[in-house]
Amino acid sequence: MEIIKTENLTKRFGGLLAVNNVDLIIGENRLTSIIGPNGAGKTTLYNLLIGLMKPDGGKIYFQGKDITGYPPHSIVKEGIARSFQILNIFTELSLFENIRIAVQAERGHGLEILSSIDSLDEVNDRSFEIIKTIGLYGNENITAKNLSYGDRRILEIGIALASNPKLLLLDEPTSGLAGRETGTMTVFIQNLAKDLTIVVIEHDMNVVLSISDHIAVLHQGKVIAEGTPDEIKQNDEVQEAYLGGL
């Protein structure tokens, strides 16, 4: 069963075709990795899927519904959330506030102007639940910018999780992490994937090959190969473009 499908999706920046007629199908309940060299159009693809950029052509269907051109806040409500490669958290807010602000959006309390946020028990309880899920319980009152880099990476994903998505898009979740932290992150993503459809953009091929059910290879804005990790490893075109004879 597919969860998201793109048809001829295209995005240009001047003369550069960042995303070039991409037809991509992401299956439900599995972990798909998108790999490709720098500049292959991976992050642009995410920005199109989440509505931060408008495509120049093509369509995006989420669970069969045409969501092309939707603004980001509507797309989140449909059930797609993403994390960012370059940390995009609320650095000046506490860990707890970072999560709660996302839960509050998901529960639709944002426009309440005369009530107190601290008295919204369902929002607060859910926030603690997510903080436990991401393993940062006990650090709630620490300002986000003072968390360790690894914890901020986890928080980055935690904020996306708080939107209660059906599809989670992760953009280089292990970027900048040291060896042991990468291991922790890999296990974390694998755990999430047990009951969530996840797409990961990742450069670390060890991570990609160990966690993915399915891999799509993007090169110069086009999908050049798709398949299981084993199929991808043996694909000559992929070897040429990216893996460099792994």
Partner 1 sequence: MKKTIFGVIRHPMFGVFVLFLILPYLLPFVGGYTYLGVEVLIWAIFALGFNIVMGYTGLPSFGHGAFFGVGAFTLANMQLQVIKEMWIPILTAMFVAAVFGALVGLFLAKKRGIYFALLTIAFSQMFWFISWGWDTVTGGEDGIAGIDRLPVGIPGLLSIDMSNILHFYYFVYFIFIICTILIWIIVRSPFGRTLQAIRYNETRAKCIGYNTALYKWISFTISCAFAGLAGALYALLRNAAFSDVMHWTQSGNVLFMVLLGGGLTSFFGPILGAAVFIFLRDLFSTLTVHWYLIYGLLLMFVIVFIPEGILSFFKREEGKQRLLVSRK
Binding site for partner 1 (CB under 8 A): 50, 52, 71-73, 76-77, 81-82, 84, 88-94, 96-97, 100-102, 104-106, 109-118, 120, 123-125, 128-129, 140-143, 146, 159-160, 162-163
**What are 31's strand-pairing partners?**
198
Q: Distance (Å, rounded) from C-alpha 97 to C-alpha 44?
A: 29
195: Cβ contacts below 8 Å, ≥ 6 apart:
none
Q: Distance (Å, rounded) from C-alpha 185 to C-alpha 206?
A: 13
Min CB(171)–partner 1 separation in Å: 11
Min CB(168)–partner 1 separation in Å: 12
| 217 touches 225 (CB < 8 A) | yes
Give 53 or 217: the residue with its C-beta nearer to partner 1.
Answer: 53
Min CB(95)–partner 1 separation in Å: 9
Min CB(37)–partner 1 separation in Å: 25
Min CB(105)–partner 1 separation in Å: 4
The candidate with the shortest Cα–Cα distance to 53, out of 65, 69, 40, is: 69
Give 146 or 190: the residue with its C-beta nearer to partner 1.
Answer: 146
Min CB(164)–partner 1 separation in Å: 10
Q: Compute the chain's Rg from CA coordinates.
A: 18
Q: Distance (Å, rounded) from C-alpha 11 to C-alpha 56?
A: 5
Residue type, 193: A
| Burial of 63 from C-beta contacts in 10 A (0-12 / 13-18 / 19+) | middle
Give 82 or 219: the residue with its C-beta nearer to partner 1.
Answer: 82
Give 73 or 237: the residue with its C-beta nearer to partner 1.
Answer: 73
Q: Distance (Å, rounded) from C-alpha 196 to C-alpha 176?
A: 25
Give 98 or 186: the residue with its C-beta nearer to partner 1.
Answer: 98
Q: Is 96 helix (H, G, I), strand (E, B) or coil?
A: helix
Min CB(76)–partner 1 separation in Å: 4
Give 84 or 242: the residue with its C-beta nearer to partner 1.
Answer: 84
Q: Is 106 helix (H, G, I), strand (E, B) or coil?
A: helix
Give 161 or 193: the residue with its C-beta nearer to partner 1.
Answer: 161
Q: Distance (Å, rounded) from C-alpha 40 to C-alpha 222?
A: 8
